[in-house]
Amino acid sequence: MKARVVALPGDGVGPEVVRSALRVLEAVAERSGHRLELTEALIGGAALDRVGAPLPDDTLAACRDADAVLLGAVGGPQWDDPSARLRPEQGLLGLRKELGLYANLRPVSLWPCLAQVSPLKAELLQGVDVLVVRELTGGLYFGPRTLERTPEGERATDLLVYTEPEIERVLRLGFELAQRRRHKLCSIDKANVLETSRLWRRTAQRLASEYPDVQLEHQLVDSAAMRLVTAPASLDVLVTENMFGDILSDEASVLAGSLGLLPSASLGAGRLGLYEPIHGSAPTLAGQDLANPLGTILSGALLLRHSLGWEAEARGIELAVGRCLSQGARTRDLGGTLGTSAMTDAVLAAL
C-alpha cells in the first residue's frame, strides 16, 4: 500500500523530533513492503520567517491532499512579541480548524520501567492507563476576541463558545473509545460556574442512555486536576473541552515520567489526521540533540494506526519503544544521557 504523509517540522525541537519519527516510519514501511510518500512543508515561526504566514496556502493544500500529517512543534521566544499580529501558534490552530480535527486523543500509558522517573509514588502509578480526549476546534481558542482601548485602559476578551453538535460529536467519540477500553468515561467541566459547561454536562447526560455499557461520571475540572495525580488509576477515558484538555494533558504527562513521552492524534470525520507530540518547541533544548523523540515517534505509531490502518506496524513501533526503554535507553528528561538521535537509533535497533 502507498500512503502520502506530510511532515511539518515547525520550530524549536520540532525538526529534530520529526526527523527521528520519519526515520522510524521509513524503516517500518520498508520492512513491511508499504510505500510512504513523504513531503515536507512550512508551518509556524519557520513559515512566518520564510513566507510571512504561519500557515501558508500551499502547506494547507498539501495537508488536505495527504493521508496524514506529522507535526513537530511551533512557537518560540523570537515570535513572542505580545503586540505582533501574526504568531506561529495560529498556524497550528488554523490547521486543526481547517482540517476539521475536532478530537485530540492523548493516551497516557505507563512504561513500568519508568515508574521511578515519575515524581509520583510508584504505588500510585500501578495500573495507570488514561486516555485524554480533548475537544480541539471550539471553546476559548476559537471564540470571538477583542482588544480595545477604553477610558480606563485597554480591555481584552476571549469568548468561550460551544454549540451542542460540537459537544455531542466529541462526547460520542469519548463514549465509543470507553467501550473499547475499561468502559469508564469521566466528563470534565466547570458546570458550577460556566454555562458552556452546563450545556456540556446536559449533553453528556442525554447521550449516556445510548451507551448503557459505559459508566459516565462528571467531575469538576479543579478536583479532576487533583485526582489525576492522587488517584490516576481510577481514571479510564477523560473527555473535556479544549483548554481544560490542554492543561490536564500536560499534567497527565507527569504520570508517564516526562512531557517528551506523550503522543497525540487529532481526528475528524474522515481518515485524515494530524499527529504530534503534546509538548511544545522546548526552545532551551533546540538544536542540541537533547529532546526526547519518543512522543513524536509514538505519534508516528498513532498515525499508522488511525489514518493508514497499519495496526501491526503501529504496534511494532510501540513494542520497540517499550523494549528500548526496558533495556535502559534514556534521554536526559528521563534521567539518562542519550541524545535525540542516539535514542532514535535505540528504537530502530529494537524494531
The residues carrying an active-site annotation are 141, 190, 222, 246, 250
Residues 92-121, mask of contacts with ligand NAD (x by CB under 6 A):
x-----------------------------
Hey, which residues between 223 and 282 contact ligand NAD (CB under 6 A)?
259-260, 276, 279-282
Residue among 154, 113, 146 at smallest CA distance from 261: 113
Nearer to ligand NAD, 77 or 328 (CB): 77
Secondary structure letter of residue 113 according to DSSP: G
Site for ligand NAD in 14-43 (CB under 6 A): 17
Q: Given the complex with ligand IPM, which of 93 and 237 has the nearer CB atom?
A: 93
| Minimum separation from the CB atom of position 111 to Mn ion (A) | 22
246: contact with Mn ion by CB under 5 A: yes
Decide: is 246 part of the binding site for ligand IPM (CB under 6 A): yes
Rounded alpha-carbon distances, angstroms, from residue 38 to 19, 25, 191: 12, 10, 45
Contact 106, 100 (CB under 8 A): no
The x, y and z cell numbers of residue 265, run together, are 492524534
Q: How far is 325 from 297, CA to CA, in rounded Å?
A: 13
The C-alpha atoms of residue 217 and residue 213 are separated, in whole angstroms, by 13
Cell of 338: 542519550
Q: Count Cα atoms within 13 angstroms, Cβ side, for 255.
A: 31
Cα separation, 171 vs 138, whole angstroms: 13
Given candidates 10, 45, 75, 91, which one binds ligand IPM under the rule CB under 6 A?
75
**Three cell numbers written together for 100:** 476539521
Cβ atoms 254, 223 nearer than 8 A:
no
Interface residue with ligand NAD, options 9, 15, 56, 75 (CB under 6 A): 75
Task: Work out whether 285 is an interface residue with ligand NAD (CB under 6 A).
Answer: yes
d(CA 173, CA 207): 11
Closest distance between ligand NAD and the C-beta of residue 93, in Å? 10
Minimum CB separation of residue 79 from ligand IPM in Å reads 11
Which residue of 36, 42, 62, 92 would you call a contact of ligand IPM, by CB under 6 A? 92
* Region 264-283 residues binding ligand IPM, contact defined as CB under 6 A: 278, 280
What does each C-alpha distance from 42 to 49, 91, 287 come to in angstroms?
10, 10, 18
What are the residues binding Mn ion (CB under 5 A)? 246
What are the residues binding ligand IPM (CB under 6 A)? 75, 89, 92-93, 246, 278, 280
What are the residues binding ligand NAD (CB under 6 A)? 13, 17, 73-76, 89, 92, 259-260, 276, 279-285, 291-292, 295, 333
